Structure formats: structure tokens, C-alpha cells
Amino acid sequence: MKFKFNPDDLKSLVKKSFSSDNINKRRQSMKFFWKNLPEQIRRLSVVAVILFALPLVVRQLLIPTDFGKYGHYRASALDEIVSQEIHYAGRELCNECHDDVVEVKYNGYHKTLTCEVCHGPAFAHTEDDAIELEAPRKRSYCPTCHEYLPSRPSGFPQIISARHNSRKACIKCHDPHDPKPPETPRECKACHAEISYTKAVSKHVDIPCTRCHQTPEEHKIRPREVLPSKPHNREFCGSCHALDAESSEDIPRIDLFEHERRYNCWQCHYPHLPEAN
Amino acid sequence: MKKWQSENANGMKRRKFIKNILFSLAALTTPAVLSAQEALKKLQTWIIGEDYNPFEHYWGMGIDINKCIGCGKCADACKKENDVPKAPFFFRTWVERYRIFKSGKTFVDSPNGAINGFRKPYYESEDKDKVIRSFFVPKICNHCDNPPCVQVCPVGATFKTPDGVVLVDGDYCIGCRYCIQACPYGARFLHPEKRTAEKCTFCYHRVVKGLVPACVEICPTQTRIFGEIKKKASPLMRFMRKHKIGVLKPSLNTEPKVYYANLDMEVR
Amino acid sequence: MEEIIQHLTPLVKEISGYIYPNEIEMHWSLLIVLYPYITGLVAGAFILASLVKVFNVKELQPVYRISLLTALAFMLVAPLPLQAHLGHPEKSFEIFLTPNVTSAMAMFGFVYMWYLMAVLQLEIWFDYRKDLILWARQEKGIRKWIHRFTSFFSNDISEKAIAFDEKAEKIITILGIPSAFLLHGYVGFIFGSVKANPWWSSVLMPIVFLFSAIVSGIALVLLIYMIVTPMRSKQVDMNCLDKLASFLFYAMIVDFSLEILDFIHRIYESEESIHILSELVSGKLFISLVVVQLLIGMIIPLGAIAVTKAFKAPAELKKLIYFTSAILVQVGIFSTRWNVVVGGQLFSKSFRGLTAYKMTFLGLEGLLVAIAILVLPLIILYVLFKLLPPWEEARMKIPVIQENINENN
């Protein structure tokens, strides 16, 4: 005989079992319903209840109480994260005791630097002055920012430490709180290192910067406010490179009227490293 | 990126809104809609206290590549502020140097995450005249608006706060490292001692007290800008008005909240 | 901590190009290679069993119970490598407490429990119930009680009850096929849904996982059948073996086509990641992908089985070819899992460099634990074979004169 599951069987079983509303009868009919289920179902449902219901109860007990308060996470995690210790005090706090130094710094080139850049994390020090901060005095410290690197933005003051007063500590000449050079730099490369070293390997190595850029003295003191000039037409380059220019014969010549007239020279040739294909 | 503009007035995040609607639909009852809004109101009383209400903020960071001098002070300060393991394999933020050569090759490096800066003197760098452009790029967790790490965390140990910061609950993390796999930016690591996931918190412990993250505080050239995304007057909004900005790996739709000015196509 | 740093430091030298500084540590190592390998065997063995019940492939009857027990033995071990690789194994229960609905991994516990409890064990229980009752009646001592307990003290062997068993079994198998697909397709999804990783992120991943699972499962049952039968000094059923080899062959063809499709698709689309991926495939993954996975694990066994089909080989030669092919397939599929899991972490997400992996021998994530985890299911299988003999001759006939049994005792 093949067992066929018939939904009507179950329906009639349910009907047969639960037809009466007399409580005593109902209890008996429950028993009747249970007994008439296939044996396998009865055994398995007991096992299923033990295996699933029990873990479900345990699960409810184990979920952290603050979980899901704000989102799918433990709300107290935020408390823990926020309670982390602060090490860097921030720039406002230094002012309270060291307003004289801050004042000096505020007007100098290092005005954007917080004290903690060089002196290290200072929060502990603000609570207890017995804790002293570092004050780097070695020559090796400043080049972290000021050593020449081709990747640094042009205009940022850079030196080659091996060639720049190689035995003196930086702070002998520069006050780190107001690091203006002891004398106005004669050479442009003090700030324009990238351009200067690019030019150094180019054909234009012997041309001084001032040949193309008229530079007011004031630029060396207020570099961003007073700007040097720049050439603004083809004829300027032509003064050396035009066919009829009165310059050394080794210099490459170009017919200014024929050669790519729609462009200015520096749109294709970088003047600090001029290349022709 | 301009997503905060399309948000509704009560500042509810759109995603959360959609989620609520879906949940409500699933329940198919009006009380469910009401209870969802009730729950949101309850959220306003925040665990951090009266001084700081995360529903009034939405944080992001701006990074101007043209300003970065590669001193690595940010990476150093981060390790000190957050007690990140000193070993050179664990970073919450680091600085990369890009050198793009005429041949089309790109050379990237980040020695010890640039914690000691880049010291290679000019005369040792390869064929200087063959580099066409070169720059530094600070990297940090992008605190994505659509964070893949939060999506994959099996237990809810990493999450996004209402003010848009992605955090890790170190006590709850089981150390499965799925989030580390899911982060496209390599911003996460497994803490070698705690054996749980770790990442940048935007110095949340500082931010809730009105300070800026340590890396922003320390940056000598103000390459890094920290601020509100939602408010009109904030240093970050000023930054975003002033520059053309890009984000890292936009095609992955993670919607980063770290915005780069002067981003180069070679940066990944 | 020192240990980890000591482990990582020499790896720095093996890195080529640029990787993000946090990427030096490989997070999913050998144990996570085992996880999809083992669940693949489970799913494959189960699908083989369902061929008998659902598709009425009569020839495979001798391996029906073997494949069910094989699936069970490996299923019991499947969560172990996951558990062992966690940073905090003791907190793993959290995955049941607060599963994150958007996390593929959070669903693992539920998919696993569903498959183990509602499908695999239930099917085995229904299949063995009659035999358990009859065995228990003849036996004494501990075996009697084990069999009584495993049948949950069931007693009913009426015709109606047995018909119910068969019906239930069939329903469970029909439910079981999508469940087996779910179990392993889901494992593929864990990897395939990681958009940050171009080596994993593929819609084909669950399907490739599935078919490689079927391949590995059939090959495993074939191996077990061929090893165990002579050990019991019985004759191998050649019809059954031929059928197994045929199904292995077809599954391999599908698997191979899918893998090649994935490969061609990647090359043709040639996305941003293609440079680093081709560097990976032609370098660090060449041996394990091209040589082991494709050549040794796929092309050679495919060719060998094809030859036995084309030329009527003598039985002994066929057996030899089937046996070696099945071993090669196992090596190949293990290598497939390796190439997915480890390969996906051998390149930086900056797409600018390759990382390195050094297997440890000792430690929770080391080779020793991995070997132990691979041997453990074989031990479990041995015990299962002893307790629930899957052999045809162990099947009991219902006694003609039925005792009058009280259903309620």
C-alpha cells in the first residue's frame, strides 16, 4: 500500500478531534488528534521542540539588553568609544598659559601649525605641568617637512640639508616659532625648490629666474601677496629663439610666424624644462 | 555626494527612511508606521548626553592633495592618539607618494605609512627628469555613506552613527574579518592583540567634545579639513565650494565622505 | 602580538609593487580554503543521493546511503574551520544572537542549521528508521540502545508507516536539492558579493561553486565506494561505477564551461583590474591555477574518462582510470578553492602590487589543524559506517509475521 497524504484526512482529523467544546471532551480530543498523527511526526515534533524552542529561549536571554537601541549594534559601544583617552589637547588649550609664544607664532610663517606638531601630544601636560613635552632641537627634525622632495608642492620652503649650513642646528638661525630666515633669501630655490631643481637639469640651467620673472623685493617677505611677473607673449621667448634673434648660435631657432601660431610657447614647452620632442 | 540635500526636513537619512517604509510595508499595519516614527523620536535622546546631539551633525573630511607635503605627522599623530600598534602593518591613516613617469608607469610607496615622512634626498630619486608629476596622498577610512563593511558584518559589530561616522564595537567583534575583505580602501586591519577589527573613528572621542580629529589637528599645511557636510557655514563646505572634488573608487558606489581636491586619476 | 609581527616582517620582502600598508596580513588563509571545499563535498554528495530518490537513477542505489552518510560526516565538520579562524571563537554564538540581515556571513548559521537539521539528518532518519527498529530488535547491549535512541524509540513498522517514510523522504529530497544549492551557492555568494575584490566579485561565483561542488562530491563518493567495497571483500558494482563516472563527467563539463566562461568574460571586459589579475595568474597563481586546477584537476581526468567512454575499456582498466581521475579531481577542486580564497587576497586592492602568503605549520590557522580537520570527517564516516551500515545487505526485510506492537510503549 502506498501512503498518500491527503489534506482532507488532516482536515477530518482536526474536525473529529476538535468538534466539541466541552473542556473534558476537548482534552480527550487533543489526545485523539495527537495519537492519530503518524508516529514519525510525533517523535520528530518532540525532538524539534527540544532542539529549537530551547535555543530560542536561551538566545533571548543572551542578547545584550542595549542592542538595537539605536540601530543594529550595541548602544553602549558608543560610550566605550567616546570614553577613549584624549592625547592631543588641541590648539586652544596652549594659549591659556603660553600666550606669549602663541602670539609670536600667530604672526609668523608657522601660524597654521598647532604647537603639538613639534611638541607632541600635550593633553597630559595641560593637566599636570610636571609632565614635560618634547622640544626637538636636532638638525634632523626640521627636514621632515623642509627637506627637498620632488613630490612636495612648489612654493613650499625646502632645502637640501646636506648643502644648507650642514653643521649648524636649524634653530641656531631660525626661531621655530617665527621661522623667518635670518636674512632674506637671495636665491629663489629656498622656496621654489622643485622648479629650481627641475631647471638645474634643463637647457635653461644658466638663465637666472629673474630673467623671466621680475621679482619685487617685497615678494621675499610677503610671498603670497606680492607676486613676481610672468612673460605673457610669444615674442618674449622669441627674443632668444626667433629666427632673427640676436643670441648665441647654439640656441635652437623657430619661425615664430609658422610654428603652431595658436599657442603660446609655454603651452607646449615647460620653460623650466624645455623639451622639443 | 550631494545626497544630504535631498533629505527630508527632520534630518532622517534617506536610507533609513526607505528601510522604515519597507519594514512598515512588511508589517502592513498603520501601527507599525507609527511605532517606527516613535522609535526615531526616542533616538533623539542620545547616549552621549546633552552636550552633543548626533542628529545635528554630519561629518566629513576634505583633503587637498596640492597642499600635502608628505611629512607624515598625521599618521604619527593618529597612532599616538589612538594607541594603534606601532608595528608597520597597522594603520588607521597613512600617506602615499605617487610618482608618475613618462613611460606611463606609476610608482607608489608609503614607507611605514609615512610616519617618519619621506626622507629620500633628491639626488637619489630615479631619473628625475622622467617623472612627469609627483604628489602625496593622505589616506584614511572614507566613512562611506554606503559602507560595504557595515553591510557584511555578521553580528552588528560595525555600524554607522547618525552623524555619519563608521565605528567598530571592539567588544562585540568576533574577528571574522569579512569587513576587512569588504573594504575597498584597505582602511581596516585586525588588531594583533585584541584580534578584532579596527579602523579610523574620525577620532569620535574628540569630535563629540568639540575637537577635530588628531590628524586634522596636527596637519601643518591644513591639507586636511574636518567639518560638517550639512551646514552651510563649515570649513568643509567652504572647501567643497572652492575646489573641484573627487572621491576614491566612485564606481563602487560606496559614497565616501572623504573628499579629495586635485585628485589624480592614478590614485586608487 | 610579537608572534604576528615576526610572522609578517619577512613577508615584506616578498611583496611586489605597492600594497596598502594594512594588506600585509592575509586574513583568510588555509582554514577558509577548507570551508568551501568541505561544504562543496557535502552539497555534491547530497545532490548525488538525490539523483537516486528524485530522478530514480536506479544504478546509483548502492551508493545512496554512502553518499548521505558522507554528506553528514563532512557537514558536521564544516563549521570547524570557520570557528577556528575567528579572532574570537568564543564569541561566535553572537551570529545567532544578533544576525545582521544584510550580511551574507550572518546567514551561515541558519543555512547550515536548516540543511543539517531539516534536510540531511531528517532524510537519513526517515531512510534508516525501519532498519533502526529492526536492528534494535535483534541486537543487545549498547548497539541496541544506540539504535533505539537514534530512531527516537520509534516502533511503528506498519505498511502505512513505511509508506509514510518513503513519501517523507521524497519530499525532503525535493526540498533538499534547492537547499543543497543554497548551501553551496551561498558560500559562493559570500565571495561573489565582495565588490571590493574583482577576483571574487562575479555573478557566476555561486554557480561555479555549485558545479565544482557537485564534481567534488561525486568524485568523493566514487572514491569512498571504491575503497570501502574491497575492504568489505565485496564486488564493486560496475554499473553503478560507470554511472557515477558519467555523472562526474557531465558535471565536470558544465563546471569547466562555466570556469572558461568566467575567464573569457574577464579578459573580454578587460576592466581596471585586468592588469593586476593577469600578473597574478601568470605569476603567483600559475602553478595552482593553470597547472593544478585546470590541467591536472580538469583536463586530464576529463580526457581520461572520455577515453573510457569512447573505447570500451576492460573493467579493471576502467576502475583504475576512474580511481585516479577521482583523486585528480579532488586535488583540482581543492586547488580551485585555494585559488579563489588565497588568490583573491594575493593582490592589493590598490591594484598596484601582489601580497604574499606564508602558511604556518603550528597554530590555530596552521597546516596541522587543517590536516586534522580534513581527517576528522573520515573518522566520523568510519563510525557512521559502523553504526548505520549503508550496505545493501544490511537493509532489513520486514518480518512476515508481525508482532502485535503497542504503539505507545
Q: What is the pLDDT along chain C (409 residues), one digit of tens a residue?
A: 788 888 899 999 999 999 999 999 999 999 999 999 999 999 999 999 988 888 889 999 999 999 999 999 999 999 999 999 999 999 999 998 999 999 998 988 888 888 888 889 999 999 999 999 999 999 888 999 999 999 999 888 888 889 999 999 889 988 888 888 888 888 999 999 999 999 999 999 999 999 999 999 999 999 999 999 999 999 999 999 999 999 999 999 999 999 999 999 999 999 999 999 999 999 999 999 999 999 999 999 999 999 998 988 899 999 999 999 999 999 999 999 999 999 999 999 999 999 999 888 888 888 999 999 999 999 999 999 999 999 988 888 877 655 555 444 4
* Whether residue B135 sits in one domain with residue B112: yes
**C97 Cβ under 8 Å from any chain A Cβ:** yes
Residues from chain A that touch B170, judged by Cβ atoms under 8 A, are 77, 80
Name residue B106's beta-bridge partners: B100
Record: contact B185-C349, CB cut-off 8 A: yes
Provide the residue range defining the domain that includes C213: 27-238+360-393
**A67 Cβ under 8 Å from any chain C Cβ:** yes
Query: CA quadruple C369, B179, C39, C88: dihedral positive or negative?
Result: positive
* Whether residue B31 sits in one domain with residue B95: no
Q: What is the pLDDT of residues B151-186, one digit of tens each?
A: 999 999 999 999 999 999 999 999 999 999 999 999
Give the three-class secondary structure for B108: strand
| Cα distance between residue C340 and residue C33, in whole Å | 8
* Whether residue B115 sits in one domain with residue B12: no
* Whether residue B199 sits in one domain with residue B150: yes
* Whether residue A152 sits in one domain with residue A98: no
A vs B: CB pairs below 8 A? 144
C-alpha cell, A54: 530551547
Record: contact A62-C161, CB cut-off 8 A: no
**A97 Cβ under 8 Å from any chain C Cβ:** no
C43 domain-assigned:
yes
- Among the partner-chain residues A64, A86, A197, the one whose CB lies closest to the CB of B205 is A86
Structure confidence at residue A121 as a pLDDT band (50, 70, 90):
very high
Using the predicted structure, report yes or no on whether residue B229 has a pLDDT greater than 80.
Answer: yes
Q: Say which residues have a Cβ less than 8 Å from residue B69's Cβ, sequence separation at least 6.
A: A145, A152, A153, A156, B136, B220, B221, B223
Provide the residue range defining the domain that includes B250: 48-268
| Cα distance between residue C96 and residue C85, in whole Å | 18
Q: pLDDT above 70 covers what percent of chain B?
A: 78
What is the average pLDDT across A42-49? 88
C-alpha cell, C147: 539504535
Specify the amino acid at residue C153.
Answer: F
- When divided into structural domains, chain A yields a total of 3
- Among the partner-chain residues C22, C82, C97, the one whose CB lies closest to the CB of B188 is C22
pLDDT given at position B48: 53
Select from A192, A149, C389, C304 the least CA-distant residue to B131: A149
ipTM of this predicted structure: 0.90
A184 domain-assigned:
yes
Q: What is the DSSP letter of C288?
A: I
C404 domain-assigned:
no
A41 domain-assigned:
no
Structure confidence at residue A22 as a pLDDT band (50, 70, 90):
low
Record: contact B159-A71, CB cut-off 8 A: yes
Record: contact C25-B189, CB cut-off 8 A: yes
pLDDT given at position B3: 39
* Whether residue B73 sits in one domain with residue B8: no
Residues from chain B that touch C95, judged by Cβ atoms under 8 A, are 154-155, 174
Pairing of strands B158-160, B106-109: unpaired
Q: pLDDT above 90 covers what percent of chain B?
A: 68
Structure confidence at residue A92 as a pLDDT band (50, 70, 90):
confident
C-alpha cell, C97: 544572537
Q: Are C322 and C298 in contact (CB under 8 A)?
A: no
Q: Which of B19, B38, B68, B71 to mutate to test the interface with A (most CBs of A within 10 A)?
A: B71
Structure confidence at residue A35 as a pLDDT band (50, 70, 90):
confident
Using the predicted structure, report yes or no on whether residue A87 has a pLDDT greater than 90.
Answer: yes
Using the predicted structure, report yes or no on whether residue B21 has a pLDDT greater than 50.
Answer: no
pLDDT given at position C56: 87
C399 domain-assigned:
no
Q: Which of A33-37, B123-127, C25-29, C170-174 has the lowest mean pLDDT?
A: B123-127
Query: From C167, which residue of chain A is nearest by alpha-carbon distance?
Result: A3
Residues from chain C that touch B18, judged by Cβ atoms under 8 A, are none
Record: contact B178-C348, CB cut-off 8 A: no
Q: What is the pLDDT of residues A231-252, one digit of tens each?
A: 999 999 999 999 998 888 889 9
* Whether residue A187 sits in one domain with residue A176: yes
**A201 Cβ under 8 Å from any chain B Cβ:** yes
Distances in Å between the alpha carbon of A93 and those of A102, B217, C9?
11, 12, 40
| Cα distance between residue B136 and residue A191, in whole Å | 18
What is the average pLDDT across A95-101? 90
A159 domain-assigned:
yes
* Whether residue A122 sits in one domain with residue A180: no
pLDDT given at position B126: 54
- When divided into structural domains, chain B yields a total of 2
- Stated as kind and residue range, the H or E segment containing B212 is none
Please state, as a whole number, how many other Cβ atoms lie within 10 Å of the Cβ of residue A138. 9
User: At CA A257, angle to CA A252 and CA A259, rounded to 5?
Assistant: 55
Please state, as a whole number, how many other Cβ atoms lie within 10 Å of the Cβ of residue A189. 20
Q: Which of A3-7, B3-7, C52-56, C335-339 has the lowest mean pLDDT?
A: B3-7
pLDDT given at position C276: 96
Using the predicted structure, report yes or no on whether residue B26 has a pLDDT greater than 50.
Answer: no
pLDDT given at position C159: 87
Structure confidence at residue B121 as a pLDDT band (50, 70, 90):
low
Q: Say which residues have a Cβ less than 8 Å from residue C104's Cβ, sequence separation at least 6.
A: B152, C186, C189, C190, C193
A vs C: CB pairs below 8 A? 55
Provide the residue range defining the domain that includes A30: 9-34
Residues from chain B that touch C18, judged by Cβ atoms under 8 A, are 96, 107-110
Q: pLDDT above 70 covers what percent of chain A?
A: 92
* Whether residue A179 sits in one domain with residue A154: yes
Record: contact B68-A153, CB cut-off 8 A: yes
- When divided into structural domains, chain C yields a total of 1
Look at chain B and count its residues.
268
